[in-house]
Amino acid sequence: MRTIDWVDGAIEIIDQTMLPGELRILRLHTVGELVAAVQSLAVRGAPALGVAGAFGVALAARVHADDPQALALAVRRVETARPTAVNLARGAQRAASQLNRGPQAVLEEACRVRDEEIAASAAMATRGADLLTQLCGARARLLTHCNTGGLAAVTVGTALGVVHELHQRGRLAGVIASETRPLLQGARLTSWELTQWGIEHRVAVDSAGPFLMARGEVDAVILGADRICANGDVINKIGTYAHALGARRAGIPFVVVAPESTIDLDTPHGGAVPIEDRGAAEITPWADAVNPAFDVTPHDLVTAIVTDRRVITGSPAATA
Ligand SMILES: CSC[C@@H](O)[C@@H](O)C(=O)COP(=O)(O)O
């Protein structure tokens, strides 16, 4: 099942704010609706955001075909709806590169972005499962963070796609889904997807991760990325850095799985990435708060980055 697609002239998404309680399909007809869906995290996860960005520009191209100024403004709104995952602006820009050829060409490019992410998921699953088996032996107990499944990447996903592949191969000995404060992408979405796939798992609070690794309950950490910088720094959901530190202390592999579309060679290092802060209301309406949605894991804590084309063990720029 595709969790985001273009259907009969509109974008269809699974509304991820409603899971796991309700499987609701949303149809988005306007750029305003798409931007609202991105900002509320009804659609989320870096590869899915790339597809959302591309389809968002396809919507804009239809509505504003005769008004170049309004069109440029709409494209900008889509590109900047969220700042951290490089895929969103990249997907929007790819679709926008066809604007001079008309709305149909824009839509065709957006569909190519979608199809490439579907193919990337399949390639990452195979390559990632091979690597995890090399690193962990016959059966791996994995800890994952946030949601990196089909919800985040149109079909099977990035890191969770690898988990699924290992399960299919009979090489998975356990999964811990880190709950992912404050919006619970792990506890709500990863748990939901694993349940759909019939994969047994346990949910843990985020802060338990490093302790569970220290206690010897995890063979490797596997998760996704919103942006990977030229030097290999990994930007991902808040909590990732703590898991990387825990993995290093426990002496277990820390593996990042992300498509090439998440690698941003134009950004030299993690310090240069805009980190979205989602404000106090999301976590504590009664006090001021700091609420970064992502963190930076320095490249030296990363064992390997698995993409749809390669396994990177140093700087992505060096092996591009
Ligand atoms: C395959 S998705 C990889 C990342 O996008 C994912 O780990 C993540 O951090 C998503 O954050 P979110 O705020 O839910 O969009």
E strand or H helix at 143:
strand 140-145
Which percentage of the chain shows pLDDT scores above 70?
A: 100
Mean pLDDT of 220-226: 98
How many angstroms is it from 235 CA to the middle of ligand 1?
10
Confidence check: pLDDT of 275 > 80: yes
The confidence score (pLDDT) of residue 108 equals 98
CB of 153 within 6 A of ligand 1: the answer is yes
CB of 256 within 6 A of ligand 1: the answer is no
Give backbone dihedrals phi and psi of 24, rounded to 5 degrees, phi first. -110, 130
Would you kindly state where each structural domain of the chain is located, as residue ranges? 4-116, 123-312
Confidence check: pLDDT of 218 > 90: yes
Q: Is 266 exposed, middle or buried (0-12, 13-18, 19+ CB in 10 A)?
A: exposed
Mean pLDDT of 129-133: 98
Confidence check: pLDDT of 305 > 90: yes
The confidence score (pLDDT) of residue 1 equals 86
What does the pLDDT look like over 76-86, one tens digit per residue?
A: 999 999 999 99
How many angstroms is it from 149 CA to the middle of ligand 1?
10
> How far apart are alpha carbons 294 and 300 in whole angstroms?
18
The confidence score (pLDDT) of residue 40 equals 98
Which percentage of the chain shows pLDDT scores above 90?
A: 97
How many angstroms is it from 128 CA to the middle of ligand 1?
18
Of the candidates 159, 166, 308, 164, the residue with the CA atom closest to the CA atom of residue 236: 159
The confidence score (pLDDT) of residue 319 equals 78
What does the pLDDT look like over 182-208, one tens digit per residue?
A: 999 999 999 999 999 999 999 999 999
> How far apart are alpha carbons 130 and 291 in whole angstroms?
36
Q: 111 vs 94, 114, 261, 264, CA distance in Å?
A: 11, 5, 15, 22
> How far apart are alpha carbons 220 and 14 in whole angstroms?
30
Mean pLDDT of 23-48: 98
CB of 120 within 6 A of ligand 1: the answer is no
Catalytic residue check, 277: no
Confidence check: pLDDT of 320 > 80: no
List of residues 6+ apart from 261 with CB closer than 8 A:
46, 47, 50, 86, 87, 90, 91, 116, 117, 120
How many angstroms is it from 278 CA to the middle of ligand 1?
14
Which fold is adopted by the domain 4-116? Four Helix Bundle (Hemerythrin (Met), subunit A) (1.20.120)
What's the pLDDT band for 175 if we cut at 50, 70, 90? very high
Ligand 1: atom nearest CA of 294 is 9
How many angstroms is it from 83 CA to the middle of ligand 1?
12
Q: Do domains 4-116 and 123-312 have the same CATH topology?
A: no
CB of 243 within 6 A of ligand 1: the answer is no
**SS3 at position 297:** strand
Coarse DSSP helix, strand, coil percentages of the chain, rounded to the nearest 5 percent: 45, 20, 35
The confidence score (pLDDT) of residue 47 equals 98
CB of 297 within 6 A of ligand 1: the answer is no
The confidence score (pLDDT) of residue 162 equals 98
Mean pLDDT of 309-320: 90
Confidence check: pLDDT of 302 > 90: yes
Confidence check: pLDDT of 163 > 80: yes
> How far apart are alpha carbons 60 and 12 in whole angstroms?
15
What's the chain's average pLDDT? Answer: 97
The confidence score (pLDDT) of residue 262 equals 98
Q: Write down the CATH number for the domain with range 123-312.
A: 3.40.50.10470
List of residues 6+ apart from 93 with CB closer than 8 A:
53, 79
CB of 59 within 6 A of ligand 1: the answer is no
Give backbone dihedrals phi and psi of 223, rounded to 5 degrees, phi first. -155, 180
Mean pLDDT of 76-105: 98
> How far apart are alpha carbons 139 and 223 in whole angstroms?
18
> How far apart are alpha carbons 222 and 205 in whole angstroms?
16
What's the pLDDT band for 213 if we cut at 50, 70, 90? very high
Both tokens assigned to 24: 């609701």
The confidence score (pLDDT) of residue 171 equals 98
Of the candidates 223, 243, 166, the residue with the CA atom closest to the CA atom of residue 46: 223
Ligand 1: atom nearest CA of 45 is 5
**Is the bond preceding 182 in cis, omega lying within 30 degrees of 0?**
yes
The gap from C-alpha 175 to its chain's centroid, in whole angstroms, comes to 18
> How far apart are alpha carbons 120 and 104 in whole angstroms?
24
Q: Out of 206, 219, 226, 308, which one is annotated catalytic?
A: 226
